[in-house]
Amino acid sequence: MASQDVQLPPNVRLAQGARVTGLSNFKRFLSQQEGALSVGERSVADGVTFAVGAQGRVAIGRDCYLNECILLAEQEIRIGNYVMIGWNTTISDSDFHPLDPAERIKDAIALSPLGDHRARPHVTCRPVVIGDDVYIGPACTILKGITIGARAFVEPGSVVTRDVPDHARVRGNPAVTIKDDE
């Protein structure tokens, strides 16, 4: 495991034994919130990208292992205890741009070098909640507003567009529940 510790923003709270290591990326960590990122006891975030907006928060429970995944939080991403998340999985609580074409033109202009970022149209965010003992494989996508129930098993490469019940095993794009053969 790459283990060099990264330079952390001041509003990151690490509990005892928690580690943020590897090529962790805080380039898009813009949150001004107190305790914008909290990492529970013994949890490891190795090479995780934390793209957190000005109002965003990420809370990670204890005894979690996050491995080079990408967390995009404009509002809130809450991760329980004993959660595993694999390589290149993306979790976001926002779609980042409006669905409406006219609004999207305004957004593109506001984002441009000629625009004013404060003039961006409003985009609805909905928190993502991941329960205890959840496994999320590599290369998954978890969309905004999703709740993944405790002990769920998300197969590698899944695109999760609906809530996942407790104990369910899901796979595919869109992810659907499959029989648990183990």
Least Å distance, CB 43 to other proteins, is 7
φ, ψ of residue 111 to 5 degrees: the values are -80, -15
- For the record, the structure tokens of 139 come out as 């290369």
Task: Mark 91-130 with x for binding to other proteins (rule: CB under 8 A) and - for no binding.
Answer: ----------------------------------------
Q: How far apart are the C-alpha atoms of 170 and 3, rounded to whole Å?
A: 32
Task: Mark 8-47 with x for binding to other proteins (rule: CB under 8 A) and - for no binding.
Answer: ---------x------------------------xxx---
Q: Measured from the CB atom, is 87 or 96 closer to other proteins? A: 87
Q: Measured from the CB atom, is 125 or 160 closer to other proteins? A: 160
Least Å distance, CB 67 to other proteins, is 9
What does the DSSP assignment read for 72-132? EESSEEEE-SS-EE-TT-EEESB-SS-SSHHHHHHHHHHHSTTS-GGGPPP--B--EEE-T
Catalytic site includes residue 97: yes
